[in-house]
Amino acid sequence: MVKIQIDTVSAPLVNHRLHERLLALLTRASAMGVLAGAAITQIDAATVQQVLAALQRQGLIGAAPVALAPLLRDGPAKLDAATAERMADSVDRLVAVLDDSPAPASEWAPMRAVFGDEVLGDLLGIAPASLRRYAAAERATPQATAERLHWVAMVVSDLAGSYNDFGMRRWFERPRTQLGGKSPRALLGAKWTPDAKAALQVRALAAVLTGAQPLAA
């Protein structure tokens, strides 16, 4: 995963909602294995161009660059209030597209790096040997596994701003009062699906860390 390390102290003032949505876009692209290269330390026009180009190469977006033309040209810090809000809406729609776009070909590598094959296999409900075959493209990743893998990547994207890799692994294993005293891993159980109640609860808990959900969720 590419590290997203934005220095909010020295960064130019940017519309808060636009900044939040751009950060969500970057962390999702990183967790999905779409981005490559050095850590990202600022969100400017060049950064937005970089992430959109990477998403296009993977076939994950369509005409988004057209809708985001002012952002690509001027960067988030130079937009007037009305344009910034419009750009935030467009980025929000793009984030929603990524939320619903499993991409196992690129997601296996970053998720293996975070969890290791044993832990990730247990989380996805597959044997480590099968995991390695899917990751090496020796066998096609089954749709159900691809959907669970993508769900894990989206949770990781929400955790990325607050935890390192070790912290993310531990997050899944620590009991949480918001989950009735169970850990996220225990609540998911053995045969979970991303749209099951338990998975939705865990995802909402992770989203609290990005401000995307109220704490009561």
The tens digit of pLDDT for each residue in 71-122 reads 999 999 899 999 999 999 999 999 999 999 999 999 999 999 999 999 999 9
Write down the pLDDT at residue 14.
76
The answer to whether position 193 is within a domain reads yes
pLDDT of 13 reads 64
Query: Residue 12's pLDDT is what?
Result: 60
Is the pTM for the entire model greater than 0.85?
yes
Residue 190 phi, psi (nearest 5): -90, -35
| Residue 45, number of CB atoms within 10 A of its CB | 16
Kindly state whether residues 95 and 148 are assigned to the same domain: no
Q: Which whole-number Å values give the CA distances from 150 to 35, 103, 161, 192, in the listed order?
A: 16, 7, 18, 13
Of 145, 152, 155, 166, the residue nearest 212 (C-alpha): 155
Q: Which domain holds residue 40?
A: 16-99
214 pLDDT tier (thresholds 50, 70, 90) = very low
Domain co-membership, 179 together with 159:
yes
HSE toward the beta carbon, residue 190, CA cutoff 13 A: 1
Both 21 and 70 in one domain: the answer is: yes
Same domain, 108 and 77: no
pLDDT, position 7: 67
Whether the per-residue pLDDT at 181 is higher than 90: the answer is yes
For residues 109 and 95, membership in a common domain is answered with no
Number of structural domains in the chain: 2
In a domain, 6, yes or no: no
In a shared domain, residues 161 and 144: yes
Q: Of 64, 99, 134, which residue constitutes the final position of a domain?
A: 99
Residue 9 forms part of a structural domain: no
- Please give the average per-residue pLDDT across 171-196, as a whole number: 95
Q: What percent of the chain is predicted at pLDDT more than 90?
A: 75
Tell me whether residue 216 is in a domain. Answer: no
User: For residue range 33-68, what is the model confidence (pLDDT) as tens digits?
Assistant: 998 888 898 899 999 999 999 998 888 887 677 889
